[in-house]
């Protein structure tokens, strides 16, 4: 007799974390693809002098891409449980809001802008922070037993 195990259904907060993780993973990969990343040859490891632009809009570097890849892997891994997915969205969103403030506070043409960030990155980070925190708060309330999954 064959026993079949049914995959556990993911709750809404887990699905949101999985989607966010997949998007971050995709963005991290796209950052290493010439053509999707313009001025690819001018990409630095970590410097405001990196001239590479994802989609011709967002300034990136190898470090920036690696951070996106790490955020993606973390999102996919943390989507396994509702409590971890909630923490990923809440804390990840807070980190993006801090990064938004950092981007506004630091001149884009100084060594302190090592990630690097430009104005488009800054406002994308603001939107990501608000959306991720909003998803955590809205969907986390709807996930019964968040702490025990």
- The pLDDT assigned to 148 comes to 42
Mean local confidence (pLDDT), 7-35: 94
Most confident of 6-10, 110-114, 117-121, 141-145: 117-121
What pTM value is reported for the model?
0.86
The residue among 88 and 140 whose pLDDT is bigger is 88
The residue among 145 and 99 whose pLDDT is bigger is 99
Instruction: Determine contact, residues 82/145, Cβ cutoff 8 Å.
Output: yes
The pair of three-digit structure tokens given for residue 60, joined into one six-digit string: 């990136």
Q: Is the pLDDT of residue 147 over 80?
A: no
**Helices marked H in the chain — which ranges?**
12-30, 62-78, 82-105, 119-141
Mean local confidence (pLDDT), 130-138: 97
User: Within 10 Å of residue 89's Cβ, how many Cβ atoms?
Assistant: 28
């Amino acid at each position: 007799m064959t026993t079949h195990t049914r995959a556990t259904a993911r709750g809404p907060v887990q699905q949101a974390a999985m989607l966010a993780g997949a998007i971050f993973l995709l963005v991290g990969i796209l950052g290493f693809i010439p053509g999707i990343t313009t001025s690819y040859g001018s990409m630095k490891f970590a410097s405001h002098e990196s001239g590479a632009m994802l989609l011709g809009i967002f300034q990136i570097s190898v470090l920036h891409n690696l951070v996106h890849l790490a955020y993606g892997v973390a999102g996919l891994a943390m989507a396994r449980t509702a409590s971890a997915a909630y923490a990923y969205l809440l804390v990840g969103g807070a980190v993006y809001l801090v990064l938004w403030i950092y981007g506004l506070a630091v001149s884009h043409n100084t060594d302190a802008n090592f990630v690097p960030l430009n104005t488009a990155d800054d406002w994308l980070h603001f939107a990501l922070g608000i959306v991720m925190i909003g998803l955590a708060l809205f969907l986390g309330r709807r996930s019964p037993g968040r702490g025990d999954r």
